[in-house]
Structure 1
Amino acid sequence: MSGETNIGTIELGRTGERVSSVALGAMQMGNATAEPEAVRILDRYRDLGGAFIDTADCYEWWARPGSRGGESEELLGRWMRERGNRDEIFLATKGTALPAHSPDLWNADGSANWELARRTFAGAGADTLRHALDGSLQRLGTDHVDLYYVHVDDRSTPLEETLEALAGFVTAGKVRYLGWSNVRTWRLERIRQLCDRYGWPAPVALQQQHSYLRRRAGLSHGSFVDDEQLDYLAEHRDLSLVAYSPIVKGIYDDPARAAEHWMMESYAGPDTDARLTAVTDHAARLGVTPNQLVLAWLLHQDRPPVLPLIGPRTLAQFENLAPAFGLELGAGDLATLDAAGA
């Protein structure tokens, strides 16, 4: 493993745009991560050459009763104004996933009522998207974002309506590139066909949950990359895979956390057991942490290339991941990790 290494770059789809090979997620900034700590993380990411920052209009409504989200965007807006660095940042945000306001969005103990939230997401109607984007731009203190995602695929709105509205954002200069998240492969292909038919700008980024662990057999969930989607992305290099939850909330370094964390329900099974053992053992041989090894493994993928989106809650968590940016894995390392599984 090398010493401190700057974050590299990767082409976004086939746009010719070079973006940071590791994106920084700001979801928790302004809530779980208080502003002073968030600023330290942002500044440190910039110190290492990182410039791809990801947020959403809904972040983090669920953090406290009564919130309408937007705290993350507001914090980023303040940080960019104070640093005078907006032109240096590749800024991504998202719309469609803010639920309709209701006191019933929070349970008596203050936790989020996710069942209700998922039933009342704002969706991708044209007027909804226009208001969402304008609100994001205001909170971010900018006249445009570099990448705008449909955060949650909306099957109740005609794709033509959504895509025409998104094309209008690009034409107006409010958005440079488009992306989609939490979407099935067949829907993605339909989106691309419509864009081709009508001359609308097609998505260049797909943000999905993806890590070294593979989703368990039988899981039906449109947010996870599966084998079909990996094959599709390998053949369609004009679409970049942005992988969220790349280290699954840090479970690789903490067996006790892995045993109890709710996210592991989506991975549970003998294949995951085998891959956890493999990454733990190989990390020990290399003298790195399992989290670092998984992040480095993702950075070494090329069919398709993977752009990990990390979301450290603290500066210490960011520093614990930073060695992965310069961790070189040989063919033997990759073969060992790829071969593991039930």
Structure 2
Amino acid sequence: MEYRHLGVSGFKVPVLSFGAGTFGGKGDFFKAWGEIDVAEARRMIDICLEAGVTMFDTADVYSSGASESILGEALKGRRDKAIISTKVTFRAEGDHEPNHVGSSRFHLIRSVDGALKRLQTDYIDLFQLHGFDAMTPVEETLSALDDLVRAGKIRYTGVSNFSGWHLQKSLDVADRYGYPRYVANQAYYSLIGRDYEWELMPLGLDQGVGAVVWSPLGWGRLTGKIRRGQPLPATSRLHATADSGPPVPDEYLYRVVDALEAIAEETGKSVPQIALNWLLQRPTVSTVLIGARNEEQLRQNLGAVGWSLSEEQMKRLNDASHVRPCYPYWHQEGFAERNPSPV
């Protein structure tokens, strides 16, 4: 397994990490993701560790905390072999307390303590804000994170689902006061979701923030099971989750899948393996989160490493998945001499 630095930090992570959103299955939304219990989670973690996949990502809202609890129980006795990444910001289902949400000092400290208890550990390797909190001063958030780092409860910090200006403002405030800088940006990025390239990727290159890619298979659309002229498979989680994920026009999806299938024929690799490998060859990507509802899916995704697509194959995938960006990015494309593309 290849390891890469997480942004400009000295910390290395495997290029593939395991997303534990399939652990628990509490509530209709997360039930559609998966219902992995402790016993199956242990087996999944066995397979991951054997393959060198040592980083496991979760969040306090995944299955109302059950994902963290199952991960902690499944890692018991081998915590030192794992990198744990978790996230907080959003309100837990059914919790209406006014301060149990966001990135305030109160909520961050409370949430970290709760996560540590559920994960059965005394430190979190990578702690990320799950979304931007416009109601809390950035200075308050970063000061609280600084205290948590100094207390030894968290080691590295990152964000998720931030816009470019959210992230840059946070980095500027961190520099101004000497707070720890965010080194990770957990972002949606896939062959059918390339918005990350417009602003967040150039920012990541400039500021040294590594991408932790979530939903690399386009919200379950690049599994190889969705094809032109065929109905959505009965087992697809898209039946339950499509409306809550990123929208993708059908014709655009089929165009990308056609290119993936052609390259699958050439390489002998599967459609999801090619989609994952494409991401591993993109700038700023530190690690790609792979999820799985069963052992077969996990082993299939692990086959995305140890080989590389050719330049010609990368170009075909880039061309098939290209869309005209929104303003001002389409305008900047016309002046590549002064605004070169990061890819």
Aligning the two structures, in what range does the TM-score lie when normalised by the shorter sequence? 0.7 to 0.9
How far apart are the structure 2 equivalents of 1:314 and 1:191? 38
How far apart are the structure 1 equivalents of 2:24 and 2:166? 33
1:160-200: CA deviation from partner (whole Å, max 9, x where unpaired)? 11111011000111110001011100110000000000000
For 1:225, the aligned partner's letter is Y
Contact 1:25 1:311 in 2 (8 A): yes
Contact 1:38 1:314 in 2 (8 A): no
2:55 to 52, 55, 68: 52
- 1:243 matches 2:246: no
1:216-268: CA deviation from partner (whole Å, max 9, x where unpaired)? xxxxxxxx6251222222323x2110110001243221114499651675222
Which aligned pairs between 1:109-188 and structure 2 lie closer than 5 A? Answer: 122-188=101-167
How far apart are the structure 1 equivalents of 2:257 and 2:286? 20
Q: What residue in structure 1 maps to residue 269 of structure 2? A: 288
Contact 2:19 2:289 in 1 (8 A): yes
Deviation at 1:154, TM superposition (A): 0.8
When residues 35 and 151 of structure 1 are mapped into structure 2, their CA distance, relative to the original with a 3 A threshold, is same
TM-score by length of 1: 0.82
- 1:233 matches 2:201: no
When residues 234 and 136 of structure 1 are mapped into structure 2, their CA distance, relative to the original with a 3 A threshold, is same
When residues 98 and 313 of structure 1 are mapped into structure 2, their CA distance, relative to the original with a 3 A threshold, is farther
Q: What residue in structure 1 maps to residue 23 of structure 2? A: 29
TM-score by length of 2: 0.82
How far apart are the structure 1 equivalents of 2:250 and 2:172? 37
Contact 1:250 1:291 in 2 (8 A): no
Q: What residue in structure 1 maps to residue 10 of structure 2? A: 16
2:291 to 305, 308, 311: 311
Secondary structure of 2:185's match? Answer: strand
Deviation at 1:269, TM superposition (A): 5.8
Deviation at 1:270, TM superposition (A): 4.7
Contact 1:52 1:89 in 2 (8 A): yes
Secondary structure of 1:225's match? Answer: helix
When residues 272 and 232 of structure 1 are mapped into structure 2, their CA distance, relative to the original with a 3 A threshold, is farther
For 1:74, the aligned partner's letter is S
Q: What residue in structure 1 maps to residue 66 of structure 2? A: 71
How far apart are the structure 2 equivalents of 1:120 and 1:269? 41
1:73-124: CA deviation from partner (whole Å, max 9, x where unpaired)? 111221222xx2111211111111133625xx9xxxxxxxxxxxxx997111
1:192 to 167, 171, 174: 171
Contact 2:85 2:126 in 1 (8 A): yes
2:91 to 85, 90, 98: 98
How far apart are the structure 2 equivalents of 1:203 and 1:145? 15
Secondary structure of 1:266's match? Answer: coil
How far apart are the structure 2 equivalents of 1:313 and 1:225? 26
Identity in percent: 31
Contact 1:214 1:271 in 2 (8 A): no
How far apart are the structure 1 equivalents of 2:72 and 2:254? 42
Aligned length: 302
Deviation at 1:136, TM superposition (A): 0.5
Contact 1:100 1:120 in 2 (8 A): no
Deviation at 1:283, TM superposition (A): 1.5
Q: What residue in structure 2 maps to residue 108 of structure 1? A: none
How far apart are the structure 2 equivalents of 1:291 and 1:120? 41
Structure 2: stretches of 5+ with no match in the other structure: 26-34, 324-343
1:337 to 311, 317, 342: 317
Q: Which moved more, 1:254-263 or 1:162-171?
A: 254-263
How far apart are the structure 2 equivalents of 1:133 and 1:87? 19
When residues 214 and 26 of structure 1 are mapped into structure 2, their CA distance, relative to the original with a 3 A threshold, is closer
How far apart are the structure 2 equivalents of 1:245 and 1:145? 22
